[in-house]
Amino acid sequence: MNTSLYPQFSFDIQVQDLESRARCGLISTPHGTVETPNFIFCATKGAMKALRMDMVKQTGAQIILSNTYHLMLSPGADLVEKMGGLHTFMNWNGPLFTDSGGFQIFSLGHGSIASEIKGNRMQKSSRSLLKINEQGANFKSYLDGRQHLLTPEKSIEVQMKLGADLIVVLDECTPFHVDKAYTERSMEMSHRWALRSLEEFKRRSKDTQALYGIIQGGVYEDLRKASTGFVNEHPFFGHAIGGSLGASKQQMADVIGMTAPLLVRDRPIHLLGIGGISDIFEGVSMGIDTFDCVHPTRLARHGGALVQPHLLPEDKKTSSREHLNLRNASYTEDSDPIDPSCPCYTCQNLSRAYLHYLLKARELVALELLTLHNITFMVRLMMAIREGIKQKTLPSLRKEWCH
């Protein structure tokens, strides 16, 4: 790490597991410290959708992520800057991450974000994306149809106006279904964009933000190796593994396995867009320090409550399910809380029957109550993982939390 570029930031590894690549560390930022491994909750548009920021904080959540793409379109980076920056605007005074907008541009060109990155879907759609070329990405706003040009420099400018602690270079996020030649050309352009991002960052930096590089290369080992070499050679504060992680859990593990071990050890490693419980255990054991995903909060808004396997209904105990579907009629008269051991307001005060009823009656507060539970669940999971690394109990812990 080039410390002169990030004088107010540090990443300190405190414990290294000897039987895996798992490690515990501390990312220090001007807005506080993040214990790793940790999960970054998505406040996509500058709000946690169903939950107040002080409540997010009270769960023990240490860091959240907002989306450059959404915020640049509305309310706009200039307005956020005028209002004192994103921390002040949304009242989150802890560490904050913004992505570069690249992920969303990709989805405009290639289809639904989440399903695509995980390789579930092959659909093409380019209604909003006009053109990607060396300069950047031209696209139309989904809000008012106005045309925007997102360049590496513009992404850095916008992220500096938003003011997040951790920011990311602009990349083209390649999907699952494109061929190796496309993936390689795209990766090389992303590397050139990364250098432009870095230059713009250096030109504008006021030392209050730290820049992550992104590793591309799809599912191809030689490309991942090349991309890993590229980020290692440049003074990024941290590294994010992006692009296609393949079509299966095994392929995801393969991609992480061909990437993470080659990254310099003294920078934090983020895995973009992954949030399943078993995926997190897999990632942690391979050296990932932070994860982000809309999964826990989006699942909550669909009536899903994250639980450990022993709380699943009998017929789901051997499935890959990691949550209770509280919309299910089987909870109509269930007077138990989601999880009696969970300290959140929802579990301490309310029954599954009440939550089931609220969901059925479409009472808004149900979404808040489940969001609170799922964030609390993830906070406890990450705390248990950190403790497991320190106590060398990660393998048995994994059995407790996953099938």
Active site residues: 99, 292
Question: Is there binding between residue 182 and a copy of itself (CB under 8 A)?
Answer: no
Among 306, 369, 375, 382, binds a copy of itself (CB under 8 A): 369
Question: Is there binding between residue 358 and a copy of itself (CB under 8 A)?
Answer: yes
Structure tokens, 295: 């999964």
Nearest to 20 by CA among 308, 293, 253: 253
Q: Minimum CB separation from a copy of itself for residue 334, in Å?
A: 10
* Cis, bond preceding 261 (omega within 30 deg of 0): no
Question: Is there binding between residue 298 and a copy of itself (CB under 8 A)?
Answer: no
The CA-based diameter of the chain, rounded to the nearest angstrom, is: 61
Nearest to 100 by CA among 11, 224, 212, 208: 212
Name every residue whose Cβ is closer than 8 Å to that of residue 152 and which is 6 or more positions away in sequence: 136, 169, 170, 193, 194, 196, 197, 200
Q: Minimum CB separation from a copy of itself for residue 42, in Å?
A: 13
Nearer to a copy of itself, 40 or 367 (CB): 367
Among 349, 391, 393, 396, binds a copy of itself (CB under 8 A): 349
SS3 40: strand
Give the binding-site size for a copy of itself (rule: CB under 8 A): 39
Question: Is there binding between residue 364 and a copy of itself (CB under 8 A)?
Answer: yes
Contacting range for a copy of itself; rule: CB under 8 A; set: 95-103, 193-201, 252-260, 364-372: 364-372
Name every residue whose Cβ is closer than 8 Å to that of residue 309 and which is 6 or more positions away in sequence: 317, 322, 400, 401, 402, 403
Contacting range for a copy of itself; rule: CB under 8 A; set: 34-42, 166-174, 252-260, 361-369: 361-369
- Helix ranges restricted to H, 59-179: 68-73, 77-82, 86-90, 102-110, 113-117, 152-162
Tell me which amino acid residue 250 is.
Q
Question: Is there binding between residue 304 and a copy of itself (CB under 8 A)?
Answer: no
Question: Is there binding between residue 350 and a copy of itself (CB under 8 A)?
Answer: yes
Among 27, 65, 90, 150, binds a copy of itself (CB under 8 A): 90
Question: Is there binding between residue 335 and a copy of itself (CB under 8 A)?
Answer: yes
For residue 127, give the DSSP letter.
Answer: S
List of residues contacting a copy of itself (CB under 8 A): 45-54, 74-75, 79, 82-84, 89-91, 332-333, 335, 345, 349-351, 353-354, 357-358, 360-361, 363-369
